[in-house]
Amino acid sequence: MRIALLAPPGVQALDVVGPAEVFWEAARRLGDPTAYEVQVVGTKEGPVCGTGSLRFVADRTIYDSDTPIDTLLVAGDPSFDEIDPAVIAWLKRRVPSVRRYGSVCTGVFLLAATGLLDGRRVTTHREWAAKLTREYPNLVVDPDQIFIYDGALCTTAGVTAGMDLALALVEEDFGRELALIVARYMVMFLNRPGGAHLAAQMSSKTSIQRSQEYVLENLSADLSVGSLALGAGMSPRNFARVFRREMKVTPAEFVEAARLDAARRLLVDTTAPLQRIAHTCGFGNVDGMRRTFVRNIGISPLDYRKRFRTSWSGIREPVEANTARRLQIL
């Protein structure tokens, strides 16, 4: 599958390098370098100047003759002032012929300028969401997502979210097993929490920050709204209101995400019994932990451990038919 990464001048370097590395690692794990063929497409002749004083040698430009593209992703430019009409014309011509297309970060502005996204649900970097809504009112902009699928269209939040999208595309193409292997190697979440949890890291509310730290350090404790509110010196109602306003999630959702993340790490990195992990992470019992896993990631804790630990150790496990014959754990 040919992955074309359109890189405008001033491109955010990681918008290109991040997805490219994910696709390359997936092909390496499959033992087939041609599983993904990544091409950087420039918008003019010569090297593409990116952020961080990096330069890319484009494989092709928009002025070269057309070649088949499976997936077209438009990388973002954090400082663009105007959009080259030639880029818009190229996108209008190429998008209808690809299997799927999308953008990383502010690359959505280039796609939006074509008119092809009118009425579609999209996301972008939170700092640019208001501008996108203002300039393209026909779009449905949701800035609180890591990435959004809308049919063949996929758009992402800022910078590293391009890697999350690439990982999701690998899972779509070759199955969850391969995606887990790539995620493990690249030290990534297979399903990273969205903008709400990222916003939590930047909360300006000292009492809420202290509550977050308490949750992460005391997963087996009573983490009910009443208990957390008492520790924050607030009424339960006010605590819940302030927490949701700052985090964009409820206290219960934050607690569940923290417990789930801790359990996932223990399942992969230790041989501790499920009951001990359930108790340590505050689920109470294995049934409670299993329900949380199934609801959030679609598999049981035992299946998660078997898939992830065996994938990392090199022991083969049954995987999807289209991947099993090719998958090589290196």
Structural domain that includes position 25? 2-185
pLDDT at 325 over 60: no
**Closest among 262, 261, 286 to 276, alpha carbons compared:** 286
* Domain edge (last residue) among 150, 185, 220: 185
Chain centroid, CA 33 distance in Å: 23
Find, among 302, 257, 298, the residue nearest to 281 by Cα: 257
Domain boundary among 151, 185, 219: 185
Residue 44 is assigned to a structural domain of this protein: yes
Among candidate residues 143, 167, 185, the one where a domain is terminated: 185
% of the chain beyond a pLDDT of 70: 88
User: Is the pLDDT reported for residue 313 higher than 60?
Assistant: no
- Indicate whether 179 and 200 sit together in one domain: no
- Asked if residue 243 is part of any domain, the answer here is yes
Are residue 199 and residue 179 in the same domain, yes or no? no
pLDDT of residue 269: 81
Cβ proximity of 169 and 2 under 8 Å: no
How confident is the model over 65-115, as pLDDT tens digits? 999 999 999 999 887 777 889 999 999 999 999 999 999 999 999 999 999
Q: Looking at residues 194-214, what average pLDDT do you find?
A: 61
154 belongs to a structural domain: yes
* Average pLDDT score, the chain: 85
Residue 142: which pLDDT band, with cuts at 50, 70 and 90? confident
**Number of separate domains in the chain:** 2
In whole angstroms, how far apart are CA 234 and each of 200, 216, 226, 251?
19, 20, 9, 14
The verdict on 172 and 219 lying in the same domain is no
Indicate if the pLDDT at residue 316 is higher than 60. no
Q: Are residues 16 and 96 in the same domain?
A: yes
- For residue 170, the model assigns a pLDDT of 93
Residue 55 domain-assigned? yes
Bigger pLDDT: 196 or 275? 275
User: What's the average model confidence in pLDDT over 110-131?
Assistant: 93
Task: Provide mean pLDDT across the span 317-327.
Answer: 36
26 in any annotated domain: yes
Same domain for 77 and 225? no
Is 109 buried (19+), middle (13-18) or exposed (0-12) by CB count in 10 A?
A: buried
Q: Are residues 108 and 232 in the same domain?
A: no
Question: Which of 284, 227, 281 lies closest to 258 in space, CA to CA?
Answer: 281
Task: Identify whether 118 is part of a domain.
Answer: yes
Assess if residue 329 is contained within a domain. Answer: no
Structure token pair of residue 269: 């990195």
Q: Are residues 162 and 206 in the same domain?
A: no
Same domain, 58 and 127: yes
| One-letter identity of residue 47 | P
Same-domain status, 153 and 238:
no
Say which CATH number the domain at 177 has: 3.40.50.880
H or E element in which residue 262 lies: helix 251-269
Q: Residue 119 pLDDT > 60, yes or no? A: yes
Let me know whether 172 and 225 are in one domain: no
Contacts (Cβ under 8 Å, ≥6 apart) of 218 = none
Q: Is residue 322 part of a domain?
A: no
Q: What does DSSP say about strands 60-61 and 37-42: parallel, antiparallel, or unpaired?
A: parallel
pLDDT higher than threshold 60 for residue 134: yes
- The SS3 call for residue 160 is coil
What does residue 38 show for φ and ψ, rounded to 5 degrees?
A: -90, 130
Whole-number pLDDT of residue 309 = 64
For the segment 180-187, the average pLDDT, to the nearest whole number, is 85
Are 129 and 249 within one domain? no
Type of residue numbered 271: T
**CATH number for the domain harbouring residue 229:** 1.10.10.60
| Same domain, yes or no: 200 and 181 | no
pLDDT at 189: 67
Q: Are 126 and 103 in contact (CB under 8 A)?
A: no
* Residues 237-280: tens digit of each pLDDT: 999 998 888 877 899 999 999 999 899 889 988 889 999 999 99
